[in-house]
Amino acid sequence: MRKPSVPPRDPSTPLRSAQDDREPMNFKLKIWRQRDAKSRGKLVNYDIRDISPDTSFLEMLDILNEHLIRTGGEPVAFDSDCREGICGTCSLTVNGEAHGPDHPGAVCELYMRKFRDGETITVEPFRVGAFPIIKDLVVDRSSLDRIVQAGGFISARAGSAPEANSILVSKYDADLAMEAAACIGCGACAAACPNASAMLFAAAKVSHLSFLPQGAPERQRRVLKMVHVMDEQGFGNCTNTYECEAVCPAKISASFIAKLNREYARAQFRQRLGE
Amino acid sequence: MIGTLDPKIPPGPLDQKWRNHQDHSRLVSPNNRRKLEIIVVGSGLAGGSAAATFGELGYRVKCFCFQDSPRRAHSIAAQGGINAAKNYQNDGDSVYRLFYDTIKGGDFRSREANVYRLAEIANNIIDQCVAQGVPFAREYSGYLANRSFGGAQVSRTFYARGQTGQQLLLGCYQALCRQVASGTVQMLPYTEMLDLVIVNGQAKGIITRNLRSGKMERHAADAVVLASGGYGNVFYLSTNARGSNVTATYRAYKRGALFANPSFTQIHPTCIPVTGDYQSKLTLMSESLRNDGRVWVPKRREDRFKPPHEIPEADRDYYLERKYPSYGNLAPRDISSRAAKEVCDEGRGVGPGGRGVYLDFADSIKRLGVETIRERYGNLFHVYKKITGEDAYKVPMRIYPAVHYTMGGLWVDYDLMTNVPGLFVIGEANFSDHGANRLGASALMQGLADGYFVIPNTLPNYLAGQMGKRPSPESPEFEQAEQSVRARLEKLLKVNGTRSTDSFHRELGLLLWDKCGMARNQQGLREALRKIPELRAEFWRDVRVPGDEEDYNQSLERAGRVADFLEFAELMCIDALERDESAGAHFREEHQTPDGEALRDDESHAAVFAWEFQGDGHPPKLHREQLHFETVHLAQRSYK
């Protein structure tokens, strides 16, 4: 006998509200399927029915996968982890937009109530040369780690730190640093950029650390090395299209790119002076 | 037969134990460090900081994470803050007070010596993180700002907006990146530990699977450090990330490491309530919100469908303020969660299904202005709106308790070493510091204390005797472990049944939430212990895991983790049944005070319960570590 796929409801978990008369929704999905890095991929059509408007986009994909598993198909591979917009793992392009239509927010924070019943939704991976596709919707973003490894840190060995309040940071600078540091490292900026540039990502890290007095001794070397590795990884250049800012789930301002450019020019100038 | 355990707590007065211990521990000289290899499993606050620090010290380190980058570890989602006894507010804080609050918060079920060390080190953590460039909140003067958290009457919590975990993790990720660049740390992302290898009674390596290629790998080392986080996902719905799992620690348990207090799980009072059958996770709304939000439900059941603004002040029950006047809305998590369950059980819960209470900011907005509230909690209000579609600046948030953290974990001694020599466990993965309930803003503190300051000072004590003893990964122990891992994966793929892994996981979660959640009783636990093996048997009969072993196969990853949860759940219930008292988050309905608070039994339960695996199908063996309280006086925990 076939077992029901969903266990009986526990009485302690809530039922849907009696006042909630919103109808379940149906969608046509076009999803990018690609066996591995070397294979050719293509968009495959799926119909999905009876989705509550309160379902998240990724939960909708979970439901599709459950169905595929039950009916002998192969589930769609996609990345996600925290599902609350902070870990930066999820990385989908929905209807051509990195993280989908509900900005600012990662695609794990996108809910089906943002779509129309019957809508056709196209789901693709982040398309960036420096993010090779691993399978279906999953891409390899280790190039972002390599940018940070190039110098996106303050070298403070455990044990060598002075008393915390001996380093004063004005609230203004601390707030600016925090705004830049909020980057979740998802790579949507590069995915949205027509040049596949990771400038917003690099700018956020360079800005965060150069606003703070702690970062000063490494300021020059940091920006030169990070920009060098960013280019080496195959990311494109910035031509100020602001697409990155528009899709950034952490609302990182493109003005940090100007900050990066200033830091870079300053560092180059000082390097030429032999400093 | 019940064994007893020796935690190897150093002699001397409480406030000198750690110093004395460091003075007398063995060291490894710098030229020998580069000959020693350390495996670190996990790259969150504990694992990341440990791996970075070992690298700084000159050891050769391999750090593993199942995510695509160490920056994704679930520590990143911690919101509210990190405690330290800096006493910057001049409000009477001290190392002793942080220690005492943590011991009391844990309902007197943690080790004095460990907790005291944690409180001592907390100040160093803040220094370290500031030096790394963590952008903590500042006052206009440029000094560090603080806020309050549950279970404390001082303001000792340091924070970076609502993203403290993110900023601390990025600090430690960046330190790790620096070591990766310098070549001391080899980072292995997309890699999952599937077994522990023990050679001559010592932990000397692990078997991993590369999740991208599906390839099995053997890694030999001189010591193994597990920092693989908690097991809250055994409940299916929790605030944990989707990938968080028990596999690394459970595999170590099956190789002989003791699992301590597995039933101690924290249910966090302020989470967004469950909405649908297919919900994949629950989202936390930081405890820091209780600094400015007031928790209430209607006094009368019939008012629960009314819009909140139509319920006048006199008809509202601010039940935390009423029941716990001295801590009010900042009562500890276990107590706040049970209080929420109680009012909802009485039929006064709000929102869909009646499983919710209000967290209301109207008074604070009136007092401080909407801008201040936005500055403090803007990102949380934003997340809340995304998920519920409601604007918490205008209507009160609805919240309900959800599984959040696990105090239980592998048993470790004072050096954070398990009963298996060479196997160390740090962060949420061990059991050591939070007793039966963890206070807010102390998980980040423990993870970083263990990684930056404790284990770099205790591991050498073991490593000093291990020069030249690293086995070859070709040795028979590695071969045997790899074969058993392979056999298990093949077995999972071969079942070829009809049900998805998730459907079993959901069923297990509902059962545990009902029988081993916020309240437990003997009858319910017995029932769970009957049903879990049945569910497990059905899993192995009817699960369908598509795809191949040597491939990127997310279904296989999940199936392996859920198979372990299906075994581990039984251990949790055995522990909850054996602990015939209430303590902190472990609320046995048979043991409560007349006003419904947890009633401890210090006479026979002031102990750690550590379980030893005895083979599949055999009940585990219980070892007890008696808890000795030399400094604090055991008291009925009161927040009234």
B374 among known catalytic residues = no
Whether residues A82 and B128 touch (CB distance < 8 A) is answered with no
The partner residues of B145 in beta bridges, in order of sequence, read: none
- Does A156 lie at the interface with B, CB-CB under 8 angstroms? yes
Instruction: Report which of B505, B516, B538 is spatially closest to residue B246, judged by C-alpha positions.
Output: B505
Written as six digits, the tokens of B123 are: 């100040």
Whether residues A80 and B499 touch (CB distance < 8 A) is answered with no
Ordered domains of chain A (ranges, CATH): 25-135 (3.10.20.30), 142-154+169-272 (1.10.1060.10)
Residue ranges of chain B that CATH labels 3.50.50.60? 3-264+407-463
Predicted complex: ipTM over 0.90: yes
3-state secondary structure B485-497: HHHHHHHHHHHCC
Length of chain A: 275
Please determine, for residue A70, whether its predicted confidence score (pLDDT) is greater than 70: yes
Q: Quick count: other Cβ atoms within 10 Å of Cβ B510?
A: 21
Please determine, for residue A29, whether its predicted confidence score (pLDDT) is greater than 90: yes
Half-sphere exposure of residue B113: CA atoms within 13 angstroms, side-chain side: 21
Cα separation, B454 vs B50, whole angstroms: 9
Q: How confident is the model at residue A16 (pLDDT cuts 50, 70, 90)?
A: very low
Per-residue model confidence (pLDDT) at position A14: 40
Please determine, for residue A275, whether its predicted confidence score (pLDDT) is greater than 80: no
Per-residue model confidence (pLDDT) at position B286: 86
Distance, in angstroms, between A268 CA and closest chain B CA?
A: 22
Q: How confident is the model at residue B353 (pLDDT cuts 50, 70, 90)?
A: confident
Residue pair B402/B282 in contact (Cβ under 8 Å)? The answer is yes
Whether residues A74 and B547 touch (CB distance < 8 A) is answered with yes
Instruction: Please give the helix or strand (H or E) that residue B335 lies within, else none.
Output: helix B333-345
Please determine, for residue A2, whether its predicted confidence score (pLDDT) is greater than 60: no
Cα separation, B516 vs B501, whole angstroms: 21
Measured on CA atoms in the order B419, B425, B427, B429, is the torsion positive or negative? negative
Scanning every residue of chain A, which has its alpha carbon at the shortest distance from the alpha carbon of B139? A171
- If you average pLDDT over residues B202-220, what whole number do you get? 97
Segment B139-171, tens digit of pLDDT:
999 999 999 888 889 999 999 988 999 999 999
Written as six digits, the tokens of B585 are: 């988050």
- Does A39 lie at the interface with B, CB-CB under 8 angstroms? no
The residues, any chain, with a CB within 8 Å of residue B442's CB and separated by 6 or more, are B82, B83, B102, B105, B118, B433, B434
Alpha-carbon distances of B226 from A55, A211, B56, B455, rounded to whole Å:
35, 35, 19, 11
The residues, any chain, with a CB within 8 Å of residue B6's CB and separated by 6 or more, are B413, B625
Of chain B, the percentage scoring pLDDT greater than 90 comes to 92
- If you average pLDDT over residues B389-394, what whole number do you get? 94
Please determine, for residue B231, whether its predicted confidence score (pLDDT) is greater than 80: yes
Written as six digits, the tokens of B273 are: 């309530």
Alpha-carbon distances of A63 from A56, A76, B192, B386, B542, rounded to whole Å:
10, 11, 25, 20, 19
Candidate from B173, B187, B352 with C-beta closest to A16: B352
Q: How confident is the model at residue A27 (pLDDT cuts 50, 70, 90)?
A: very high
Instruction: Please give the helix or strand (H or E) that residue A121 lies within, else none.
Output: strand A120-125
Scanning every residue of chain A, which has its alpha carbon at the shortest distance from the alpha carbon of B274? A14
Please determine, for residue A101, whether its predicted confidence score (pLDDT) is greater than 70: yes
Candidate from A15, A75, A162 with C-beta closest to B353: A15
Q: Among B12-21, B268-277, B338-347, which is the least confidently predicted range? A: B268-277
Per-residue model confidence (pLDDT) at position A11: 39
| Mean pLDDT (chain A, rounded) | 92
Candidate from B161, B452, B554 with C-beta closest to A158: B452
- If you average pLDDT over residues B48-59, what whole number do you get? 98
Alpha-carbon distances of A165 from A171, B129, B142, rounded to whole Å:
13, 12, 9
Instruction: Please give the helix or strand (H or E) that residue B172 lies within, else none.
Output: helix B164-182
Per-residue model confidence (pLDDT) at position A7: 41
Alpha-carbon distances of A135 from A47, A125, B297, rounded to whole Å:
21, 9, 48
Instruction: Report which of B395, B165, B386, B172 is spatially closest to residue A84, judged by C-alpha positions.
Output: B386
Whether residues B175 and A36 touch (CB distance < 8 A) is answered with no
Written as six digits, the tokens of B595 are: 């006003």
Segment B527-538, tens digit of pLDDT:
999 999 999 999
Whether residues A145 and B139 touch (CB distance < 8 A) is answered with no
Of chain B, the percentage scoring pLDDT greater than 70 comes to 100
Written as six digits, the tokens of B236 are: 């299916």
Per-residue model confidence (pLDDT) at position B287: 84
Cα separation, B188 vs B202, whole angstroms: 23
The residues, any chain, with a CB within 8 Å of residue B608's CB and separated by 6 or more, are B5, B109, B111, B260, B261, B411, B431, B624, B625, B627
| Fold designation for B269-403 | Flavocytochrome C3; Chain A, domain 1 (3.90.700)
pTM (predicted TM-score): 0.95
Residues of B in contact with A58 (CB under 8 A): 280
Scanning every residue of chain B, which has its alpha carbon at the shortest distance from the alpha carbon of A82? B241
Catalytic residue among B72, B209, B333, B558: B333
Cα separation, B431 vs B427, whole angstroms: 8
Segment A151-164, tens digit of pLDDT:
999 999 999 999 99
DSSP per-residue string spanning B488-554: HHHHHHHH--SB-HHHHHHHHHHHHHHHSSSSB-HHHHHHHHHHHHHHHHHHHHHB---S-SSS--H
Backbone angles phi, psi at B212, to 5 degrees: -80, -45
Distance, in angstroms, between B616 CA and closest chain A CA?
A: 26
Residue ranges of chain B that CATH labels 3.90.700.10? 269-403
- Does A13 lie at the interface with B, CB-CB under 8 angstroms? yes
Candidate from B177, B276, B546 with C-beta closest to A54: B276
Candidate from A72, A89, A177 with C-beta closest to B67: A89
Residue pair B466/B60 in contact (Cβ under 8 Å)? The answer is no
Torsion angle of C-alpha atoms B456, B461, B466, B471, degrees rounded to 10: -50
Per-residue model confidence (pLDDT) at position B276: 77
Measured on CA atoms in the order A112, A115, A121, A127, is the torsion positive or negative? negative
- Does A35 lie at the interface with B, CB-CB under 8 angstroms? no
Domain B476-605 has CATH 3.40.50.2000: no
* CATH superfamily, domain at B3-264+407-463: FAD/NAD(P)-binding domain (3.50.50.60)
Per-residue model confidence (pLDDT) at position B639: 84
Cα separation, B41 vs B219, whole angstroms: 11
Distance, in angstroms, between B553 CA and closest chain A CA?
A: 8
Per-residue model confidence (pLDDT) at position B97: 97
Residue ranges of chain B that CATH labels 1.20.58.100? 476-605
Q: How confident is the model at residue B3 (pLDDT cuts 50, 70, 90)?
A: low
- Does A114 lie at the interface with B, CB-CB under 8 angstroms? no
